[in-house]
Amino acid sequence: MQPRAHVTLEDVARAADVSLATASRALNGMRVTPQLRDRVLAAAEKLAYTPNAHARALAGASHRTVGVICHDVTDPYFAAIAGGVMRVAGANDLLVMLASTFRDPEREIAYVSMLRAERAPAILLIGSGFEDTRWERALEAELKPYLDGGGRVAVVSRHRSLKVDSVLPENKAGAAAMARALLDLGHRRFAVLSGPRALTTVADRLGGFRDELAKAGVTLDPADIVEAPFTRDGGYGAMSELLTRRSTATCVFALTDVMAIGACAALRDQGLSIPGDISVAGFDDIPIVRDLTPPLTTVALPLQRLGETAMELALTENNGRRRRLLRMGGEVVLRASTAKLV
């Protein structure tokens, strides 16, 4: 016998010989005579009934799937933050819909639109905004009606003009602190492995680093700044490029740990020792970096907490006033990948 495509509430009601309303109430735990309730539950069980979430959502029941949009789930930085988001979501009995844009602004907007269509109660944007006015406008155009409709939005990282709750990692101050720490170690000649200029995170970290160096009278040679994708291979390529340029830097600052890992691989492949020949520092403090050899000096961000906090912001009312959680992390963690210069 070919089973019906979908068992509906009506089937259950008929099997239990009650009305639709009673079946619905029994299934949702509202007041119903125990006898009837048992009949309904038994029928539902026997028919392997699953409510149609769409019908339910359409009929007004609030639903429990929040959307999280990040740049790349395979990047440990986002994975760690997503882990935090999911912890809090799980504790609140929420499903998480995780989407990966692969850093394509268009796709990011498409995802927001999709989530809006799904009437997700909350949308979390994890990851840097783009310094791109056209994109900002489009995103805002998408978000505005969503917010007006009662949707909740929270972002991790800076978005220039978004009027939403934000969790802001200490990118600028953290990079500045790193500059100071590296200067303290005696370094004077630096190279930076940078990411795409269009990301606000890049602007903040690079700016913070450069400005702090400038305060100490150290300037960053433009030839010592290499731009590459925010990936392991991006870091590898950028470091290789730097080596072919015969940079005289004694210390390389990678704007993310993931890039730093690639940089270390490139250096190893060239037979250079870290920190003997050159020091390497990163940013983020993703879990793996303490297991590297040498363990990586970096700027620590409480990644999991970033995610947890964002989710909490999205779950609590903000009464229309945007909240900004600043000063998340930013302490320099000196490990063995950076050496003191004598």
Partner DNA sequence: GCGCTTTCAGTAAGCGCTTTCAGGGTGCTA
Partner DNA sequence: TAGCACCCTGAAAGCGCTTACTGAAAGCGC
The amino acid occupying position 2 is Q
- Compute, in degrees rounded to 10, the torsion defined by CA atoms 226, 231, 233, 235: 30
113 binds, among a copy of itself, DNA, none (CB under 5 to 8 A by kind): a copy of itself
Q: Tell whether residue 55 is a contact of DNA (CB under 7 A).
A: yes
Minimum distance from residue 148 beta carbon to a copy of itself (Å): 4
292 binding a copy of itself? (CB under 8 A):
yes
Torsion of CA 199, 204, 206, 207, to 10 degrees: 130
φ, ψ for residue 140, nearest 5 deg: -65, -40
Whichever of 89 and 206 has its CB closer to a copy of itself, that residue is 89
Q: Is 321 in the site for a copy of itself (CB under 8 A)?
A: no
Q: Give the separation between CA 277 and CA 194, rounded to whole angstroms.
A: 21
* Beta strands across the sheet bearing 251-254: 225-227, 190-194, 251-254, 279-281
Asked if 10 touches DNA (CB under 7 A), the answer is yes
Query: Could you count the other beta carbons within 10 Å of the beta carbon of residue 229?
Result: 16
> Which pair of tokens denotes residue 7?
């068992």
Q: Does 61 bind DNA (CB under 7 A)?
A: yes
Cβ atoms < 10 Å from Cβ of 213 = 23
Q: Which of residues 228-267 bind a copy of itself (CB under 8 A)?
A: 232, 261-262, 264-265
Q: Could you tell which of DNA, a copy of itself, none binds residue 98, using a CB distance below 5 to 8 A set by kind?
A: a copy of itself
Nearest residue (CB) to DNA, 17 versus 106: 17
**C-beta of residue 307 within 8 angstroms of C-beta of residue 82:** yes
Sketch the per residue contact string, 63 through 92, with a copy of itself: x for CB under 8 A, - otherwise. --x------xxx-x--xx-xx--x---x--
Closest among 328, 280, 324, 332 to 303, alpha carbons compared: 328
Place of tokens 């394509």: 104
Q: Which two tokens stand for residue 22?
A: 């009673």
Residue given tokens 């830097």 in the structure block: 249
Dmax over CA atoms of the chain, in Å, equals 87
Tokens matching residue 200: 């606000």
Asked whether position 42 contacts DNA by CB under 7 A, the answer is no
- Minimum Å gap between C-beta 67 and a copy of itself is 9
> Is residue 31 at the binding interface for a copy of itself, with CB under 8 A as the rule?
no
CB of 129 to a copy of itself, least distance (A): 20
| Token duo for residue 295 | 């363990």
116 binds a copy of itself (CB under 8 A): yes
- Binding of residue 134 to a copy of itself (CB under 8 A): no
Judged by the rule CB under 7 A, the positions of this chain that interact with DNA are: 6, 8-10, 18-22, 24-25, 27-28, 31-33, 36, 49, 51-52, 55-56, 58-61
Residues that bind a copy of itself (CB under 8 A): 3, 5-7, 48, 50-58, 65, 72-74, 76, 79-80, 82-83, 86, 90, 95-100, 102, 107, 111, 113-114, 116-119, 141-142, 144-145, 148-150, 232, 261-262, 264-265, 268, 287-288, 290-293
